[in-house]
Amino acid sequence: MKDNVDLLFNPKSIAVVGVSEEITKLGSVIYHNIIESGYEGELFAVNPKYDRVFGNICYRDIKDIPSSIDLVCFVVPAQLIPEQLEHAVLTKGIKAAMIISAGFKEVGEEGMQRENKIKEIAEKYNIRVLGPNCLGYINTRAKLNCSFAGAPPPEGGIFFLSQSGAFCTAALDIAQKRNMGFNHFVSYGNKAEINEFDLLNYALNSDFVKVVGAYIEEITDGTKVYKLIREKNNKPVIILSPGKSEKAKQAISSHTGSMVRSASIRTQALNQAGAIMVEGMDTMFDLMMAFSWSRPMHGDRVGVITNAGGPGIIATDKIEEVGLKVADFSDETKQKLREVMPEAASVQNPVDVIGDALAKRYGDAIDILMKDSNVDSILVILTPQLITQIEETAKFIINASKVCSKPIIAAFLGGKYVRGGVERLYDYNIPVFDFVEDAVESMAYMYRYYNCQDSCTFHNLEVQDIEKSRKNEDELLKYVGEEQKALPEDLVMKISEEFDIDIPAQLVSSDIEEISKFCADKYPVVIKATTEDIAHKTDLKAIYLNLQNEDELRRSFDELQSNIASLPDRKNKGLASILVQEMITGGEEVFIGINRDGASTVYDEDFSDGGFGHVIVFGKGGIYTEIYKDIDSRLLPLTHNGIVNLVESTKVSQILKGARNARIFALDKVYELVDKIQKLALSYPEIASMDLNPVFVTEKRAVAVDMKIFVGK
C-alpha cells in the first residue's frame, strides 16, 4: 500500500478532471497551481465540454489521454465522482486519486452513501484516495502544488497534515510569514480512504521529513496510530487535537469515568506514544519552527544573553517555571566574559551585555558560552535600543549556529525596528521568537522530547504478551450487553480471587464460635448485618467498627443480633447471618480505576471503532480523590517500569515513600496490585470500567476494600 501513497505524492503524470475555462474555478486554480509550482511531470486537463483550456489540450474523457496516469484529481460535482473514479481505474488503471469536491458525509445521509461508494471502489481496486472535501496537497520537494491553496511555502523538513482545510490555509499563511520550510502540506478532509495513519506512516518513513505537524479532530484507528508513533519514534510528531470540552460521548457511570474523558484519553495515549501534544495553534507553530530549525536540545542548562535586565529576569522566571535550569557558568567563562565585557555588564547568567552593546559584544558572549560545558543551550535576547545593531547581531547568531552543536534560540523583542533582524534569522533557519516566554517554552518542549526517549521501557506494545485468565468468562458474559452493567458482588469476589487481588478477609456466619475463631488473628474487625432491611432502619445500628478483641466482638455480636431480631420480618427466625470482615486501619488510601476507550472489540486486529483500549488510573483515594484530583493515567499494557512511572507521577506516591513521616508503605504491593488489575482488564476486554476506591496501603499490604466492575459491549 505504501507505494501507492508515494504515487499520490510523487506522480509522474496527473490528470485534473474538472478544469474549466474560468480561471477562478477550483479545477482551474489547481491546474494552474500545478503548472506554476514548477511541476516537471506530465499534466492533463479533462472536461467533456472543452477541447482546449488556457491554450492546452483538454481531453473530453480521461480514457482519451495518450499516456499512463499516476494521479487523477477530481474537481467535479460530488454525485459524478463515484462513477468517474471507477471509470478512471478501469480505463487508465490509475492507482491514486484525490477528490477535492465537497458534498460527501459532511452534508448528511446522501453524501455519506456517496462517500461509502468511494470507500468500496478504493478497496475493490486497491487504490489510494485523498479526500474528499479537501484542499489537496503541496509537495515542495517534487515542486508540486497540487492544491487550491496559495503559493507553496519554501522547501524544508516539516510534513504537515490537517483534517481541516481551513486550518491548512491559515497554517500556510502563518508558515510563510515565518519563512518556515515544509516538504508536504496535506489537507486530507473527510478521509474516506487515506487517514491520519497512512499519512503519519508515510511521514515517519520518509528520510526527508524531520518534523511532523498534525491537526487531527478525531482518529480513525487509535490503537494503530498509537503503535505506529510508539514503534517508529524517530522524529518529533507535534499534534494539535482539540475537543476536550466536548460532552463525553458515553455517560460512564463510574467515578473514574467522570475524571478521564474521551478526548483526554486520546491526548494521554498519543502523548504516551511519544507524540508532542499541544493545545494551541501558536504553540504548534512555535514548536514546528523550533524542532525543524534547532539542534537537538539534550541538556537543561540554559545560558542567557541579553542587552536588558528586565527581559533577563523574565527569562529566568520562565526557565525555572518550565523545569529548565539557569546554567552556572564555569569560572573560566566568567573570566573570559569579564575580559571582553564593559564593567557594568553582568558576567553571571543571564549575561547582561547592557544597553550599548553592539553586535560584536553579543558575538563574543555567544562564543564564550558555546565553549562552556556547563551550558547546554543559548538564549539570545535583544531589545532595540538606541545603538543596537539588530541585523548585525542576527549575523553573529547565524554564524555561531553554523559551528555550534548546541541549540541557539533568539528572542528579538519589538516590532518594526527588529523586523530586519528577525527576517534574517528566519532566512537562515534560526528559531526566533517575538517574546522571551515563547522562546523558553519551546526550549522546554524540546528538552522534554529529547530526554524521554527511554519512556519506551514503560510500555508493552503487544496486548498479546500479557498473561491472561478468563476463568469466570461464562458468568461474566451474562452481564455483557449494549448497556453498561455493574457485576454483582459475588462475581467481583470470584474475579478478585482469580487475579489474586488482596481484599479484606471476610466470613458470613451466624455462629459466634466460628466467627470468633476466624477473627482470632485478624483484630480489629468489623461486623455488619447482611439482612438488607436493616440498612434502611436508621434508628438501628447495623455495623460495628473497630472491634479490638474477642470481648468486644462477642458483645457487639449480641447487640447486632438483638437489633436484627427486633425487625418485624425477622421475628422468631433465630440468629441472622453476619458479615465479619477484618478492618484495615492506618493505611494510606489510594485509588485505582480502569476505563475503556472504544468498544470491547478494541483489541481485535480487524475491527476498530477508533478507540485506544483500556486506560488505567492511579491516585489518591478516599475523600480526597475528587478534591485534589491527584490522579494520573496510562494506556495499557504497561511494563513494570511503566507501572512505577504511573504511580510516581502522583503526589500521593511521596506519602507512600514516607516523605512526611517515618512510615514506609508497601509500594511493591501497590505495583503488584496495579499489574493484577491490568491483567484483569486485558483478560476481559468486556470490562468498560473499574473502580477500586479506596485501596488501603499499609506497611505490608495493598488491600482493595471496595471494588466495582462495569461491563459492556
Q: How far is the CB of 346 from a second copy (least distance, A)?
A: 11
Per CB under 8 A, 483 contacts a second copy: no
Strands (E), 506-598: 506-509, 525-529, 543-547, 578-582, 588-597
Q: Among residues 94, 492, 652, 709, which is the contact residue for a second copy, using CB under 8 A?
A: 652
Residue 347 to residue 343: CA distance in whole angstroms: 10
Peptide bond into 637 cis (omega under 30): yes
Q: Closer to a second copy at the Cβ: 299 or 312?
A: 312
Residue 425 CA: distances (Å) to CA of 411, 419, 472, 668? 10, 10, 65, 53
- Among residues 345, 335, 255, which one has the least CA distance to residue 306? 345
Binding residues for a second copy, how many (CB under 8 A)?
77
Q: How far is the CB of 95 from a second copy (least distance, A)?
A: 29
Helix 281-293 and helix 436-450: axis angle, to 10°? 60
Angle at alpha carbon of residue 632, lines to 631 and 636, rounded to 5°: 135
> Which span (173-181, 391-399, 446-454, 499-507) binds a second copy, by CB under 8 A?
173-181
Return the residues of window 141-170 that contact a second copy according to CB under 8 A: 148, 150, 162-167, 169-170
Q: Closer to a second copy at the Cβ: 195 or 561?
A: 195
Q: Closer to a second copy at the Cβ: 61 or 434?
A: 434
Per CB under 8 A, 600 contacts a second copy: no
Q: How far is the CB of 309 from a second copy (least distance, A)?
A: 6
Q: Which residue stretches of 324-386 are H helix?
A: 331-340, 359-370
The H or E element that residue 169 is part of is helix 165-177
Peptide bond into 350 cis (omega under 30): yes
Q: How far is the CB of 409 from a second copy (least distance, A)?
A: 16
Q: Closer to a second copy at the Cβ: 72 or 655?
A: 655
Per CB under 8 A, 667 contacts a second copy: no
- Among residues 290, 33, 291, 285, which one has the least CA distance to residue 174? 285
Q: Closer to a second copy at the Cβ: 143 or 651?
A: 651
Return the residues of window 104-133 that contact a second copy according to CB under 8 A: 106-107
Q: Among residues 513, 661, 662, 668, which is the contact residue for a second copy, using CB under 8 A?
A: 661
Q: Closer to a second copy at the Cβ: 41 or 414?
A: 414
Q: Among residues 5, 15, 16, 29, which is the contact residue for a second copy, using CB under 8 A?
A: 29
Q: Closer to a second copy at the Cβ: 48 or 108?
A: 108
Contact 348, 337 (CB under 8 A): no
Which cell numbers hold the place of 352?
A: 547582561
Label the pairing between strands 687-697 and 702-704: antiparallel
Q: Closer to a second copy at the Cβ: 314 or 525?
A: 314
Return the residues of window 259-318 that contact a second copy according to CB under 8 A: 279-282, 307-311, 313-314, 316-318
Q: Among residues 77, 415, 481, 488, which is the contact residue for a second copy, using CB under 8 A?
A: 415
Q: Closer to a second copy at the Cβ: 572 or 661?
A: 661
Per CB under 8 A, 651 contacts a second copy: yes
Per CB under 8 A, 41 contacts a second copy: no
Peptide bond into 524 cis (omega under 30): yes
Q: Closer to a second copy at the Cβ: 269 or 515?
A: 269
Return the residues of window 60-99 that contact a second copy according to CB under 8 A: none
Label the pairing between strands 525-529 and 506-509: unpaired
Return the residues of window 209-268 that contact a second copy according to CB under 8 A: 215, 217, 240, 242-246
Contact 552, 578 (CB under 8 A): no
Return the residues of window 539-558 that contact a second copy according to CB under 8 A: none
Per CB under 8 A, 536 contacts a second copy: no
Contact 591, 617 (CB under 8 A): yes
Q: How far is the CB of 380 from a second copy (least distance, A)?
A: 14
Q: Among residues 154, 296, 414, 524, which is the contact residue for a second copy, using CB under 8 A?
A: 414
> Which span (66-74, 265-273, 568-576, 654-662) binds a second copy, by CB under 8 A?
654-662
Q: Closer to a second copy at the Cβ: 566 or 654?
A: 654
Q: Closer to a second copy at the Cβ: 49 or 247?
A: 247
Q: How far is the CB of 343 from a second copy (least distance, A)?
A: 8
Q: How far is the CB of 414 from a second copy (least distance, A)?
A: 3
Per CB under 8 A, 496 contacts a second copy: no
- 372 contacts: CB under 8 Å, gap ≥ 6: 303, 327, 329, 330, 332, 333
Q: How far is the CB of 176 from a second copy (least distance, A)?
A: 6
Q: Among residues 70, 198, 300, 438, which is the contact residue for a second copy, using CB under 8 A?
A: 438
348, 422, 166, 37: CA torsion to nearest 10: -140
> Which span (510-518, 600-608, 647-655, 699-707) binds a second copy, by CB under 8 A?
647-655
Residue 102 to residue 106: CA distance in whole angstroms: 8
Return the residues of window 361-390 that contact a second copy according to CB under 8 A: 383-386
Contact 50, 76 (CB under 8 A): no
- Among residues 34, 48, 123, 127, which one has the least CA distance to residue 80? 48
Per CB under 8 A, 444 contacts a second copy: no
Q: Closer to a second copy at the Cβ: 167 or 544?
A: 167
Q: How far is the CB of 14 from a second copy (least distance, A)?
A: 20
The per-residue DSSP string of 38-76 comes to: T--SEEEEE-TT-SEETTEEEESSGGG-SS--SEEEE-S
The residue type at 519 = C
Q: How far is the CB of 452 from a second copy (least distance, A)?
A: 24
Residue 547 to residue 524: CA distance in whole angstroms: 5
User: Phi, psi at residue 279, to the nearest 5°?
Assistant: -105, -15
Residue with the three cell numbers 477473627 = 519
Burial grade of 234 (CB within 10 A; 0-12, 13-18, 19 or more): exposed
Residue 74 to residue 100: CA distance in whole angstroms: 6
Per CB under 8 A, 47 contacts a second copy: no
> 619 in helix, strand or coil?
strand
Q: How far is the CB of 207 from a second copy (least distance, A)?
A: 29
Q: How far is the CB of 423 from a second copy (least distance, A)?
A: 13
Q: Among residues 36, 173, 231, 497, which is the contact residue for a second copy, using CB under 8 A?
A: 173
Q: How far is the CB of 124 from a second copy (least distance, A)?
A: 30
Burial 120-135 (b: 16+ CB within 10 A, else e): ebbeeeebbbbbbbbb
Residue 341 CA: distances (Å) to CA of 320, 344, 346, 404? 26, 8, 8, 21
Per CB under 8 A, 523 contacts a second copy: no
Q: Among residues 478, 623, 700, 713, which is the contact residue for a second copy, using CB under 8 A?
A: 623
